[in-house]
């Protein structure tokens, strides 16, 4: 509760701050420090999201982070970000190291750039993963869950390993290529996504994950087209005697993304298919193609007020969109294997450093709800609504 009060005190202070607080810089700009704080409020009907929101109000949705970068010379940069994330029972307690890396530009001229990154590297996954933790860079309070599933956030966010990138600008547009190879980061929310409960064992990378993203941008910067592909293998090992002590997960997502921006409006759509296989010792094995997509539009009503609307859908098996086959195989409610979400939202920039947001969700299905918040799946309701409010500050 003290953290909630502290966050709102920061918000009240920031609403009177000038644009001079957009960053802290030292050593002629070679050292930069940025930070952010967001406090959310969630109320839902029947089901829990980010805390005990079921026919109640949950304040257990909070993001506080700070990042720093040091560029001793033009071709070398060190950067890191630490975040305190409260999201119901899904996230780990304490501070999380989102990324910590060294970025070396091997070759650079006016049109071409090639470099390498080492450390805890951000994954090139869809359009929004690399900036998803800062509320000002997201299109809404929560990202489309069909692509950017919060209940398994850590897997898509970063990897411990190495990455290479290549950027090329020309008369026909710009090409950006990012590739990362490394160990996936698995938190308790990601683990519960696959074993559906919090067990004492540990899930980790079975072998190095591989991710690649290619983005093409037209010369006028209005159209962006992207393709993402990844290959992730996870292994769960027991810590004590458990019913199913060993579990192997293979994920092979592919995402097609498109975004068109005009002066006052923007249209975005992404489509994903992910081959998913789960191998167990003492339970049925599954091999599905998970399908997800969304269509989103935003419009700038005034210089400080923006409206957004989105339809977001996900299915645990693209050939079983109503979930009946998976329900028969697992004994779980069919609505746990799909989710269709209609969302309307508003964003109001009070100052360049302080933002207020609100959005309403009407949902059919519970596919992206975490079993850590909703421990009894048979108590969940198929059709439900959710109201979310958030205040965000940055410097």
For every residue of 193-240, DSSP letters joined together read HHHSS--SSEEEESS-EEEEEEEEE-TTS-EEEEEEEEEEEEEEE-SS
In a 13 Å sphere around the CA of 362, the CA atoms on its Cβ side amount to: 5
Q: What is the pLDDT of residues 23-50, one digit of tens each?
A: 687 777 789 999 999 999 999 998 999 8
In a domain, 143, yes or no: yes
Contact indicator for 377, 336 with CB cutoff of 8 Å: yes
Which segment of 4-18, 22-36, 220-234 scores lowest on mean pLDDT? Answer: 4-18
**pLDDT, average across residues 118-139:** 91
In a domain, 35, yes or no: no
State the Cα–Cα distance between residues 314 and 369, nearest whole angstrom.
12
**pLDDT, average across residues 262-270:** 96
| Cβ count within 10 A of residue 185 | 22
Higher pLDDT, 246 or 62: 62
| Cβ count within 10 A of residue 221 | 10
**pLDDT, average across residues 278-296:** 81
List the beta strands (DSSP E) in 45-111: 58-73, 76-87, 95-108
Contact indicator for 37, 393 with CB cutoff of 8 Å: yes
In a domain, 367, yes or no: yes
pLDDT at 331: 87
pLDDT at 391 over 90: yes
Percent over 70 (pLDDT), the chain = 88
In a domain, 228, yes or no: yes
In a domain, 235, yes or no: yes
Average pLDDT over the chain, rounded to an integer: 87
Q: Say whether pTM exceeds 0.75.
A: yes
Q: How many residues does the chain have?
A: 395
Contact indicator for 271, 244 with CB cutoff of 8 Å: no
Q: How confident is the model at residue 106 (pLDDT cuts 50, 70, 90)?
A: very high
| Cβ count within 10 A of residue 126 | 22
CB under 8 A, 24+ apart: contacts of 1-9? 3/62, 3/64, 3/86, 4/39, 4/59, 4/62, 7/37, 7/38, 7/39, 7/62, 7/64, 8/39, 8/391
In degrees rounded to 5, what are phi and psi of residue 273? Answer: -125, 130
Here the CATH number for the domain that contains residue 370 is 2.40.160.100
In a domain, 146, yes or no: yes
pLDDT at 122: 93
Q: What is the pLDDT of residues 158-188, one digit of tens each?
A: 999 999 999 999 999 999 999 999 998 887 7
Query: What DSSP element (H or E) covers 8?
Result: helix 2-14
Higher pLDDT, 19 or 295: 295
Q: How far is CA 341 from CA 127, 367, 368, in A?
A: 19, 11, 10
pLDDT at 225 over 80: yes
pLDDT at 192: 75
pLDDT at 14 over 90: no
Q: How confident is the model at residue 15 (pLDDT cuts 50, 70, 90)?
A: very low
Percent over 90 (pLDDT), the chain = 61
Q: What is the pLDDT of residues 373-384, one digit of tens each?
A: 888 888 899 999
pLDDT at 13 over 60: no
Q: Per DSSP, what are the bridge partners of residue 392?
A: 38, 355
Residue 131 buriedness (CB in 10 A; 0-12 / 13-18 / 19+): exposed
**Structure tokens belonging to residue 332:** 């779980």
Q: What is the pLDDT of residues 39-97, one digit of tens each?
A: 999 999 989 998 889 889 999 899 999 999 999 999 999 999 999 988 877 776 678 89
Higher pLDDT, 4 or 157: 157
Query: What DSSP element (H or E) covers 243?
Result: none
State the Cα–Cα distance between residues 313 and 367, nearest whole angstrom.
10
In a domain, 253, yes or no: yes
Q: What is the pLDDT of residues 316-356, one digit of tens each?
A: 999 999 999 889 888 899 999 999 999 999 999 999 999 99
How many domains does the chain divide into?
1
By residue range, what is the domain housing residue 228? Answer: 95-394
What SS3 state is found at 141?
Answer: coil
Contact indicator for 382, 365 with CB cutoff of 8 Å: yes
In a domain, 87, yes or no: no
Contact indicator for 289, 266 with CB cutoff of 8 Å: no
pLDDT at 108: 94
């Amino acid at each position: 509760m003290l953290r909630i009060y502290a966050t709102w005190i920061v918000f009240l202070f920031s609403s009177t701050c000038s644009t001079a607080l957009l960053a802290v810089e030292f050593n002629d700009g070679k050292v930069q420090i940025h930070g952010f704080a967001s406090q959310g409020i969630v109320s839902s009907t029947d089901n829990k999201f980010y805390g005990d929101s079921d026919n109640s109000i949950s304040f257990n949705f909070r993001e506080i982070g700070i990042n720093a970068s040091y560029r001793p010379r033009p071709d070398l940069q060190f950067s890191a970000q630490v975040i305190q994330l409260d999201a119901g029972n899904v996230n780990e307690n304490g501070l999380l190291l989102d990324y910590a890396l060294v970025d070396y530009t091997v070759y650079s001229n006016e049109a071409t750039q090639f470099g390498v990154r080492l450390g805890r590297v951000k994954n090139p996954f869809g359009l929004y993963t690399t900036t998803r933790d800062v509320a000002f860079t997201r299109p809404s309070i929560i990202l489309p869950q069909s692509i950017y599933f919060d209940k398994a956030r850590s897997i898509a966010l970063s990897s411990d390993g190495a990455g290479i990138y290549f950027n090329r600008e020309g008369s026909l547009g710009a090409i950006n290529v990012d590739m990362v190879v490394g160990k996936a980061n698995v938190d308790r929310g990601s683990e519960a996504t696959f074993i559906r409960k919090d067990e004492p064992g540990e899930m980790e990378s079975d072998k190095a994950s591989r991710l690649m993203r290619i983005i093409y941008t037209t010369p006028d910067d209005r159209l962006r087209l992207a393709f993402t592909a990844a290959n992730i293998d996870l292994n769960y090992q027991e810590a004590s005697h458990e019913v199913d002590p060993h579990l192997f997960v293979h994920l092979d997502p592919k995402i097609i993304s498109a975004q068109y921006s005009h002066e006052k409006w923007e249209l975005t759509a992404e489509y994903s298919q992910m081959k998913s296989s789960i191998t167990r010792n003492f339970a049925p094995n599954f091999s599905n193609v998970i399908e997800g997509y969304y269509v989103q539009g935003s419009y700038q009503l005034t210089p400080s007020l923006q409206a957004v609307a989105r339809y977001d859908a996900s299915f645990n098996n693209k050939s079983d969109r109503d979930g009946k086959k998976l329900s028969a195989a697992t004994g779980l409610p069919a609505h746990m294997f799909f989710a269709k979400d209609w969302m309307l939202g508003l964003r109001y920039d009070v100052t360049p450093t302080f933002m207020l947001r609100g959005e309403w969700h009407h949902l059919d299905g519970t596919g992206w709800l975490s079993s850590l918040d909703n421990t009894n799946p048979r108590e969940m309701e198929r059709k439900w609504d959710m109201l979310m409010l958030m205040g965000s500050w940055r410097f």
